[in-house]
Structure 1
Amino acid sequence: MNTTATEQPRTRQRYRPTELETVPAVNALLERLGLGRLDAQAVTAFGGRNDNWAGPTTTGEQVFVKTVTLLPDGDCPELGRALSFEELASRRLPPGSPLRSPALLGADRAAGVTVHRLVPGARSGAELALDGEFDDALCRAAGRAVGTLHGLGPAEDVDTGEAPLPPLAWLKALPWSAVQERSMAQIAAWQLVQDDTEVVAALHRLRDLEKTVPHGPTHCDLRFDQFIRADEGTGDLYLCDWEEFRLADPARDVGAFAGEWLFHAAYSVFAPTGEGGDGGGGDGGGAGQPGPAAGFGLTHEEIVARGSASLRRHLPRIGSFWRGYLECRTPDAGLPERAAAYAGWHMFDRLIATAEAHATLNPVARAAAGIGRTVLLDPAAAARTLGLTLPASSLPGRSLTTPSRPAPSRPAPSLSNGSSHR
């Protein structure tokens, strides 16, 4: 179909891949699998912290190849976690399951390389969100996928170690090695967290509570760009990138998805996208990010007003995800409040990540931090605002704020309260 004059080209964030000659284990694995070698002139790369290659091999297969970093002793826990998901999924997911992941074709544990079948016409959830195409139907499909994942039940040979984020030690001070690797804006973002004693205390409470709640198979790195949709054929939604997969609090994933929409809403009011003037340019990490000057020249009142309007437009996406989730899993009664708290942390996590290339934090980043703070400090009210509610028949759960009794009923405040944090 030809693009008309009024249609905007679809966002496709692709990058030049690392030279294959520098990673000989990639083609070596492909040849052992009988897939030929990657066509160096035709491959491209998706975003992300790991080297990857996507495209055809010399035998005509379309593949996605990724490497993960080995530890100094040669161990590769990230690959081990990813393969543990593949094993669990092969045993417990029936045909036609709402949870789909690109087919694994092979792996080399010693080299930290995996090969998956490339999803035809794949576009990431980040690209879809920027173009206004991550709609209610796709959000519901995402909720069904995540609910199915969390419902896979007890699992052997799955990592039970604590998820790394939020890093409690870093709430006190960054190690010198981390300071050397981060931009001035990232250091300023961390200082926003470290200087806020209420936020630090809330994050400690969240990590303490996580140890006492039911754990299950959890993605633990859920962002828009971990979802991909096939542009051709059925247009199915897939969930990928399982390097952080482990048994953990499922509220992490629910909160991360809600946090992605909060972050997208906070940033997307400052640059045009396909969402009726809502969204910003891509950050390669799951949400829109404006240029470094975004927000300068706007008053506090203008930032709050525009941010509040954008939040109202995006909240239905979270509601659609939650409805899909509840179709596939009945969570514990405390999960909505914990998920809201994780959504608050996710706002800080994403603004730290997107500050990598900047020297200073712009006003929009500070507004996003303010929203994250509001959500994190009152997760019960935030859960109601986000639509993360359970049927009345749910069993009593434990609260982050009042563990011995239910939180008092009151109107949920605006998430934009205090949005120009610090």
Structure 2
Amino acid sequence: MKTPSTRRLTLVLGTLSAIGPFSIDMYLPSFPTLARSLGTSVSSVQLTLATYLAGLAAGQLLYGPLADRLGRRTPLLAGLALYVAASLACAAAPDLPFLAAARFVQALGGCAGMVIARAVVRDFFDERESARLYSSLMLVMGAAPILAPLVGGQLLAHAGWRAIFVTLAGIGAAMFTLVATSLPESLPVDARRRQGFREIARSLGELLRQLPFVRLSLAGGAMQAAMFAYIAGSPFVFIELHGVPAERFGLIFGTNAFGLIAASQINRWLVPRLGVLRVLRTAIAGAALAYVGLLIAAGSGAGLPVILPLIFVGIASVGFALPNSTALAMAPQGKRAGLASALLGTLQTTCGALASTLVSALADGSAQPMAAVMLGCGLLALVAAAPFGWKGISSERGELRPSS
């Protein structure tokens, strides 16, 4: 099997991975407007983010086994087609329950790109090169959190919130075309696993008994969950609490996304010098400290000049933590990379869904719920990545012993 050029693979897989950030971030500026349009509250609208994340968690367990059984391309194209249809349904939503349901289905389709992109990387590269390629993917997908709120804010101002979902449908259709014409099949027929339900369940059980895999998945998932807590809470904190205009919301959001992108590129330079595991743990510790400061600042009623730098440090740390935890968790998985990618994604997205739901449930008219949930996620990541009980990792530099 010939490996395609890294540049082309990065472009295609990065674009696929960006479907999640685009689907989440583009409609964030519309939360207050959407709430007024559908006759509900901003905290209720936040729950549509949780239903989207729940769809991501559920769908990934479906696409993982399918990708191992049918190859990477067929499930991916089917998922993108479903994503386009569900995006159009979101645009036509008459009320909040319909929108929440359509968002769930939209996520079921969109998560195909997330699962299969990770599996394709594992098909072609070892853990060290995977960590570097995941960082490159974050450069491509990191453009989404910068562009999406800006585009969403302009669409909201000129065409209304429904135009945002029509645009997402168009992006999904473009991705379908890109995959159909530019992504080769990375899993040969003789390497596919034709498992039945019992075999899949047994493989999932084996993965869940791999303590390093579970802990690395949770470490990355908790860091990502802190970011989702920020995503869920930031429209209220910035627009409602601190009076940032909706069309300018994307500038703040984009600045934090830029920090994540910059960190992911610095990570490519650090990993060969310090090791994957060391960089991961240092990033998590830095984020946890930033979130302690954020909670103190939120409790004291501090303004944006104090809050924004702390959020910037925490979100930038995700650029180090996510590619490294993913590379370490995926490296030993061999032929079950699709299933492992699905379980990893499900664990991580479930963390994100719980975090965003907590922000909504704890809403009290201040920035404290967002800050508290972000700190809780940072502490969970710190525990998951702690050095006790590691088996299967051969050195502090982070090489994993591959499984058969």
Structure number with the bigger relative contact order (C-alpha 8 A, sep ≥ 6) is: 2
TM-score range, shorter chain: under 0.3
Greater percentage in helix: 2
**Rg (Cα) greater in structure:** 1
Greater percentage in strand: 1
